[in-house]
Amino acid sequence: MDASTETYFKNLTSTDKEEQYVAYQKIMLVTKEPVNWAYEV
């Protein structure tokens, strides 16, 4: 998993709802295709 994706997962627990939403959108976009790091999270 790359550093930006790790940041998106960390941002899911942010208190800023907009930051959470952006992180969720990015994660959903990345995981449209199978990823090799799925079992790490």
3-41 pLDDT per residue, tens: 999 999 999 999 999 999 999 999 999 999 999 998 888
Quote the number of domains for the chain. 1
Residues whose CB is less than 8 angstroms from the CB of residue 19 and which lie 6 or more positions away in sequence, other chains included:
11
38 within domain boundaries: no
Q: Which domain holds residue 21?
A: 3-33
18 within domain boundaries: yes
41 within domain boundaries: no
8 within domain boundaries: yes
14 within domain boundaries: yes
19 within domain boundaries: yes
Question: For position 19, what pLDDT does the model report?
Answer: 97
Residue 27: exposure state from Cβ atoms within 10 A (0-12, 13-18, ≥19) = middle
Residue 10: exposure state from Cβ atoms within 10 A (0-12, 13-18, ≥19) = exposed
Task: Phi first, then psi: give them for residue 19, nearest 5 degrees.
Answer: -65, -40
40 within domain boundaries: no
